[in-house]
Structure 1
Amino acid sequence: MRRRFLTALFALIAIGRLSGAAADEVQVAVAANFAGPLQAMAEDFRNTTGHRLVASFGATGQFYAQIRHGAPFEVFLAADAATPARLEEEGEALPGSRFTYAIGTLALWSARPGYVDAGGEVLKGQGFRHLAIANPKTAPYGQAAIQVLERLGLREALAGRLVEGQSITQAHQFVASGNAELGFVALSQIQQDGRLGSGSAWIVPAGLHEPIRQDALILAKGRDNPAAQAFLDYLKGERAGRLIESFGYGR
């Protein structure tokens, strides 16, 4: 009896050690526009895999600089395709791990109901003083906003009314706080399950800017972390896909 008890006890200890070894955490740098989906999937990822996400949110360009200077990120979810490709070329990422996890959608949004019309004609009027955008030098959604203004022939006319946020999160905050009457934001910031949370919006036609293809990859610091690969596998799966699409992204 005592031998059987000890054998069972040692088996439980071994299982516990294996479980502990399998449960790791992964440090993820996440483009600010993807904060909502990432936060929504974090618990499901943990429940599904046993691993834990530790996420930081910000502008893609700023993350690039931090990664190049040794930041401890193991996975990068960018707001574009060019930055991850560049990191891969520079030896800062695991070759072959890069893939497109989402196609972003740009929206012109106001916190005021009825303020933004369905065709974005509000941009041609004089009824607003400030138009918020993300910094086009570091944030792909800011670059897309500038492209929209250029294709509408409004860039010069509205140059004096532009208010730049460091990231798409700050651009959204400018509008949400009323400091800007309207602004270009990520659709994912104002919509979930196909419903607008508040205010009024124009979903910008994709043909008015370059595609916002958002790529993910495992960084060099995550190459030996099983949680990093587990997260990318999860991100490619159907469960994550349905959630990502519910925030207005394409796949």
Structure 2
Amino acid sequence: MTIARDVWLWVLLISSATADEIQVAVAANFSAPAQKIVETFTAATGHKVALSAGSTGKLYAQIKNGAPFDVLLSADAQTPAKLETEGFGVSGSRFVYATGRLVLWSRRAGWVDDQGEVLGKGAFEHLAIADPKLAPYGAAAMEVLEKRNLVERLRPKFVQGENIAQTHQFVTSGSAELGFLALSQVMREGKIPEGSAWIVPAGLHRPILQEAVLLEKGRDNPAARAWLDHLRAPATRAMIATFGYE
């Protein structure tokens, strides 16, 4: 018993000595999947992960101002490329970890039809949309409205969120009857369990390619590279798909 206990303690000490911690900046739309990934990653490696969620634009500004992040999971492909060019991202480390889908959603059943015609009818007071200057999902929503020639007509109804998480709060709280959200915010296990929704056809906006990038602070951190490897793993990708990503 004593030998077995000593061996167990030795393994525990070795694991503690090799475990590391990383700081991951994550786009607000990917917050729920990221939390699930943290669970499987920590279980597999022992490494700890601290997540900081926000709009991609704000995370970019924080990184440039010295925020101690090891990895960025962006809501677009442009921001990681820009960070790499500016010397904040490790060259060659970028890759697409998810392709986002946009959804028009209301917490009210039967409110949003499956063609999005509710937008043209305008029988609502408020439409929640993320800041298109900071949030790629907000930019995609504006593209959809532009293609339907509804921007100027609906602009007085806009309730603008700082990021997609705040936009989601506007709709769930009732501050807006409906809003453009990331499908990942309302889909669970391949289904939208409540409310009503129009999953926006991908052809109505530019692809929402979400890239990950290893930041300079994480260059020599094995845990940061292990995190990115875990993100690419087939099991992780399968889990991400259940949140509505492609």
The answer to whether structure 1 residue 112 and structure 2 residue 123 are counterparts is no
- 1:14 is displaced (CA, Å) by 6.5
- Distance of 1:127 and 1:155 partners within structure 2: 15
Aligned to 1:214: 210
The answer to whether structure 1 residue 241 and structure 2 residue 237 are counterparts is yes
| Matching residue's letter, 2:37 | M
Match of 1:59 among 55, 60, 65: 55
Contact 2:28 2:164 in 1 (8 A): yes
Aligned to 2:18: 22
- 1:224 is displaced (CA, Å) by 1.1
Structure 1, residues 81-130: CA drift from partner, whole Å, max 9, x if none? 00000000000011111100000000000010000000000001131011
- 1:197 is displaced (CA, Å) by 2.5
When residues 17 and 136 of structure 1 are mapped into structure 2, their CA distance, relative to the original with a 3 A threshold, is same
Contact 2:122 2:154 in 1 (8 A): no
- Distance of 1:203 and 1:57 partners within structure 2: 24
The answer to whether structure 1 residue 138 and structure 2 residue 124 are counterparts is no
- Distance of 2:233 and 2:143 partners within structure 1: 32
Q: How does 1:31-110 map to 2 (within 5 A)?
A: 31-110=27-106
- 1:18 is displaced (CA, Å) by 3.5
Aligned to 1:188: 184
Aligned to 1:155: 151
| Matching residue's letter, 1:26 | I
- Distance of 1:112 and 1:14 partners within structure 2: 56
Aligned to 1:203: 199
Match of 1:176 among 154, 172, 197: 172
- 1:9 is displaced (CA, Å) by 10
> Identity over aligned residues, as a percent?
56
- Distance of 1:8 and 1:110 partners within structure 2: 57
- Distance of 1:160 and 1:12 partners within structure 2: 65
| Matching residue's letter, 1:178 | G
Aligned to 1:3: none
When residues 24 and 213 of structure 1 are mapped into structure 2, their CA distance, relative to the original with a 3 A threshold, is same
Q: Secondary structure at the match of 2:91?
A: coil
- 1:11 is displaced (CA, Å) by 7.9
Normalization by structure 1: what TM-score? 0.93
The answer to whether structure 1 residue 228 and structure 2 residue 224 are counterparts is yes
Structure 2 unaligned blocks of 5 or more: none
- 1:19 is displaced (CA, Å) by 2.0
Structure 1, residues 217-251: CA drift from partner, whole Å, max 9, x if none? 1101111111100000000001110110000001x
User: Cα RMSD between the aligned structures?
Assistant: 1.7
- Distance of 1:13 and 1:174 partners within structure 2: 50
- 1:49 is displaced (CA, Å) by 1.3
- Larger mean CA deviation between 18-27 and 28-37 belongs to 18-27
- Distance of 2:168 and 2:191 partners within structure 1: 17
| Matching residue's letter, 1:128 | F
| Matching residue's letter, 2:221 | N
- Larger mean CA deviation between 42-51 and 24-33 belongs to 42-51
Q: Secondary structure at the match of 1:191?
A: coil
Rg (Cα) greater in structure: 1
- Distance of 1:132 and 1:159 partners within structure 2: 10
| Matching residue's letter, 1:21 | A
